[in-house]
Structure 1
């Protein structure tokens, strides 16, 4: 418990109020504003306690106090049940010289405290966001000068809160500008990478195509697979994409002949998703031209699970298996699709790719590290 304070002399009041306003103008957060205001209130008014009460919807939140002994700090009351609510609703200064005799006050709320008289002033009179309350432990009729000081301090707190809001808005604007610069840089990086991949696919497809019609079909197919993979990322706000969704999208044209099995909650980071989407598309296109997806009764199983590789490094294993298609034979030379698969898995994702050309159907085993 701290001793009651005597109000400063008139000259001292002016100097102290000016100093308080200066300190409040430099405050940049709500806690500092409330702490400075309640401390200054006790010094300026010589009262036994001051509280800073925030409007919290329909409640009064006693957020800060400087008093002889604890009052209601941290508690919330309906506006209809406390005098601070009157000041908030009626947008005016309220004085109670005897808390026991005023019908607007719940006596039970004040009986356990030292409070016998009080005055509360709205913070921002036109649209109050808070209330500054001054309390006396004896019957006291605040003088006009004391009430003027209380309202002046409330007005200073209102200006300080406006400054805090401006500072917060300025900080958020700067953060938004910084975030925008990062987004532009990231977008530029992604566009360059995407164009490089598109150019490489275009060159390799053109070299391997028998004619322009074949080039157009295969290039547009690969470009479409890339576009759909990017679309899934945009929908996910460039966050990790569920592997099941990525595989289902890549194999959508052949969904009736494909069975997907694996952890539905497992997700892929954007770079892994983009690469794996192209890999699955190439496997499916190869199966549609030469393998199980080239005949009505053929089917493909795609399984995945988290598993370490031979040296214990954690990662993701995928197994592509074709069934009931035409007999499979190992090609005499690797086409662009095979090189794209092995290149993306081995080079881009630091993984491993093994293809087994079983006459009963192609088996392709992929392993990707957990942190490519």
Structure 2
């Protein structure tokens, strides 16, 4: 595959950024990134790699022949791991002349040269790797395009992570709301004249076998939501304590 002309590379990267801004899954990110990596650099293959603890996980690939999709390798025994650990790109025009390459893993493949860049330079979470079937040194321009793609990919991954946290928080909130509703349905509201026990130390009330604060008592029994303020008496106490 030949690299795109410079103008087309710019258009390609802009298109990728737009597509990554609306992704909703890791699969969408890897599909976009692996194809764009080859288009931007003219490589014969590309791999999308994520860090998985002390391993490199080859999540996806787009290549003229199979590489390592679905496999895991120790960070210290993989060029993608070297890139993540050192937080810098690797440009290797001849893989068999570089000691960082696990040669046995590459012999069954078409790969003769490669370039790998980190996904997120500070604290890399993965790497984008491109491969060529001949020994030709990747150009600095190609590596810059690849790094720009990796940076855009990092933003998409961070967005997915933030959305997962938001969804998790919303799920917890929904669960708590459901629990409160269930408790309101099962707890019999105190009626006028009923005797309600209050702990003389904690000032909590016993409702349905649970000891709850006054705010929860009001919400469970009467559906009253409590907010907090400062009464004149409370202000006087604070002022007296400062004297």
Structure 1 residues 236-262: Cα deviation after superposition (integer angstroms, max 9, x where no partner): xxxxxxxxxxxxxxxxxxxxxxxxxxx
For 1:101 and 1:119, how far apart are their aligned partners in 2? Answer: 14
Q: Which has the higher contact order (CA 8 A, sep 6+)?
A: 2
For 1:15 and 1:106, how far apart are their aligned partners in 2? Answer: 36
Helix, strand or coil: the match of 1:100? helix
Helix, strand or coil: the match of 1:183? helix
Helix, strand or coil: the match of 2:73? strand
Q: Does 1:30 align with 2:18?
A: no
Shift of 1:165: 1.0
TM-score normalised by L of structure 1: 0.51
For 1:44 and 1:110, how far apart are their aligned partners in 2? Answer: 23
* Contact 2:51-2:57 within 8 A present in 1 as well: yes
Shift of 1:106: 1.6
Counterpart for residue 2 of structure 2? 6
Shift of 1:55: 0.6
Q: Does 1:115 align with 2:90?
A: no
For 1:158 and 1:64, how far apart are their aligned partners in 2? Answer: 16
Q: Does 1:65 align with 2:61?
A: yes
Q: Does 1:151 align with 2:147?
A: yes
Structure 1 residues 34-71: Cα deviation after superposition (integer angstroms, max 9, x where no partner): 11101111111110111011111111111111111110
* Contact 1:54-1:62 within 8 A present in 2 as well: yes
Q: How does 1:351-366 map to 2 (within 5 A)?
A: none
For 1:181 and 1:122, how far apart are their aligned partners in 2? Answer: 42
* Contact 1:49-1:65 within 8 A present in 2 as well: yes
Counterpart for residue 83 of structure 1? 79
Shift of 1:192: 2.5
Structure 1 residues 193-244: Cα deviation after superposition (integer angstroms, max 9, x where no partner): 8x69xx7xx9xxxxxxxxxxxxxxxxxxxxx9x84xx79xxxxxxxxxxxxx
TM-score normalised by L of structure 2: 0.77
Unpaired segments ≥5 residues, structure 1: 203-223, 232-372
Counterpart for residue 168 of structure 1? 164
* Contact 1:28-1:163 within 8 A present in 2 as well: no
Counterpart for residue 52 of structure 1? 48
* Contact 2:92-2:138 within 8 A present in 1 as well: no
Please give the root-mean-square deviation of Cα atoms over the aligned residues, in Å: 1.9
Structure 1 residues 87-143: Cα deviation after superposition (integer angstroms, max 9, x where no partner): 011000011111111111121110000000001100010100001101011111111
Structure number with greater Rg is: 1
Count of residue pairs brought into register by the alignment: 198
Shift of 1:173: 2.1
Unpaired segments ≥5 residues, structure 2: 196-205, 212-243
Q: How does 1:195-214 map to 2 (within 5 A)?
A: none
Counterpart for residue 131 of structure 1? 127
Helix, strand or coil: the match of 1:6? coil
For 1:14 and 1:65, how far apart are their aligned partners in 2? Answer: 23
Shift of 1:177: 2.1
